[in-house]
Copies of this chain bind each other. A is one copy, B any other.
Amino acid sequence: MNMEVEMAAPALDLEARAHGDHPHALRLWLRMLTCTQLIEKSVRTQLRAQFNTTLPRFDLMAQLERSPEGLRMNELSRRLMVTGGNVTGITDQLEAEGLVERVDVPGDRRAWRVRLTHAGQANFRAMAQAHEGWIVSAFDALDAAEINDLHRLLGQVKSRLNTSTESP
């Protein structure tokens, strides 16, 4: 995959922070963070180059694609983990470009939902297909069994993290 990194590569290598006497979990964490940041940076670069768009726009459209009936702004904000202000700005942009539209919420005159237009659906499908290819490419150092192992191990980590999060 072609990754245009705007800075010298070593800056992204958080593993450089880990000394040999650190617990293995810390070295694992810094490696995981480095991989995540490298992949995310590559996705941002390619979204920009191939679709002239940004990751927040892509993420917002991805949420709408999963909810064909549309989403209220507060629900959209919650799902996107960003401030309501950011979501409003991006939504306004996408609306001006004809990719999303606002629809009334029956029974609530002061509320509306945002949903993808047909043009937005087509645009998102093209981006999602390309995105899938970038991600497959990002992990092409691993064979199917290794991808499976990694998925399984991270599943154990995630289950424990979710359990910790849910407990008071």
Contacts and interface: CB of A to CB of B under 8 A. Distances in A.
Interface string A38-76: 111010000000000000000000100010000000000
Interface residues of A, number: 65
Count identical subunits in the complex. 2
B32 A35 contact: yes
A11 B157 contact: no
Contacts of A154: 28, 31-32, 35, 150
Interface in A78-114: 78-82
Contacts of A42: 161, 164-165
Interface string A19-42: 000111111110111111111101
Nearest 6 A/B pairs, CB to CB: A141-B160, A25-B139, A38-B161, A141-B156, A36-B36, A25-B136
